[in-house]
Amino acid sequence: MEPLNLRGERHRVSGICWGLVFLLLVTNAADIVLMFLAVMVDPVVALSMEGMSWIAAAAQFLLGYPVCLLMLARIPAYPMETYRLRPGQITDAAFACCFLLVAGSLLGQAVSGIISEILGYKTWNIVSESISSTSLFYNLVTTVVAAPVCEELVCRKEIIDRMNRLGDRPAILVSALLFALLHGNFYQFFYAFGVGLVLGYIYARTGMIRYTIGLHMAINLLCGVLPDVWYQLGGDAASILWELLLLAAAAVGLVRFIVRWHRPRRLGGWWNMAGDRGGGSGVPQAVLMSVLRCSVALFVLYLM
């Protein structure tokens, strides 16, 4: 591998970050255009919750993400070596994601509540509202299939493959941060960041995107779509039972993490990862500035 060029790597990271900004720009522009066309054809369907949701999904998954992937494809990548996971490792990762999902959700609700009190208006859990107000078919297509595939290809494979020369840990951290920012709200930010760390770690250790796509699909199905289905079938009692099962899975995830933390060789080697493969102490600062500019841009776009 050729020597690390700090200026080149800084441009590489900037290209990655602005690719995600263009993802939102293209998605928002396409959403407006598609909505205008749909209203001209059938305003009743287009302005219904289901209709608006399908239009937004088409703008995001059929236009926004493909444009982002085309932009990232122009940046040279360094694919990871591939290794297989054992079933027990996949199970531990799933339980760890459950714990981070529950803990992150509670933190996100607390932060959103504080912001609501400070600003004087009520914030809404956009994902929960969307899932409960759209059809099961829509949620299966978008939340369980399209979102995991597109988000993992961009936020795990494309980003980590292009940042791993800076070190595995910086690549995983930036990947998780940008993944969390793309969700655009504090309800999801914290658990998306935590789960993003786990999924990024798995991809960095295995080089196989199918593992993270599969886990992401399972998380969205079990923790996003099925709770609403369970509630519709069994009411409050069924919903409480599902939440208790999720809390139990989170507890198992916490215990398993503690056990593995005290067995470093079984943890998989987070601290054995390369922190800075290029050996340049200026790399983290360059990455931070590029990511910071991208973060500000993403927040501004979500406020528009």
Q: Which amino acid is at 232?
A: Q
Q: Which of 9-18, 70-79, 227-236, 283-292 has the highest mean pLDDT?
A: 70-79
Residue 281 clears pLDDT 70, i.e. is over it: no
Least confident of 84-88, 166-170, 268-272: 268-272
**Cβ(15)–Cβ(75) below 8 Å:** yes
Lowest model confidence (mean pLDDT) among 3-17, 85-99, 185-199: 3-17
Q: What is the mean pLDDT of the chain?
A: 82
CA proximity to 175, closest of 20, 9, 7, 5 = 20
**pLDDT tops 90 at residue 78:** no
pLDDT over threshold 60, residue 16: yes
Identify the pLDDT of residue 22: 87
Q: Give the percent of the chain with pLDDT over 70.
A: 81
- What is the pLDDT, as a whole number, of residue 213? 97
> Best-predicted range by mean pLDDT among 14-28, 142-156, 175-189?
142-156
Window from 168-177, 229-238, 282-291 with minimum mean pLDDT: 282-291
- 198-251: pLDDT as tens digits: 999 999 989 999 999 999 999 999 888 888 888 777 777 777 888 888 899 999
Cα 54 to chain center, whole Å? 20
- Using a 10 angstrom Cβ sphere, with 0-12 exposed, 13-18 middle and 19 or more buried, the burial of residue 287 is buried
- CA nearest 273: which of 162, 158, 166, 154? 166
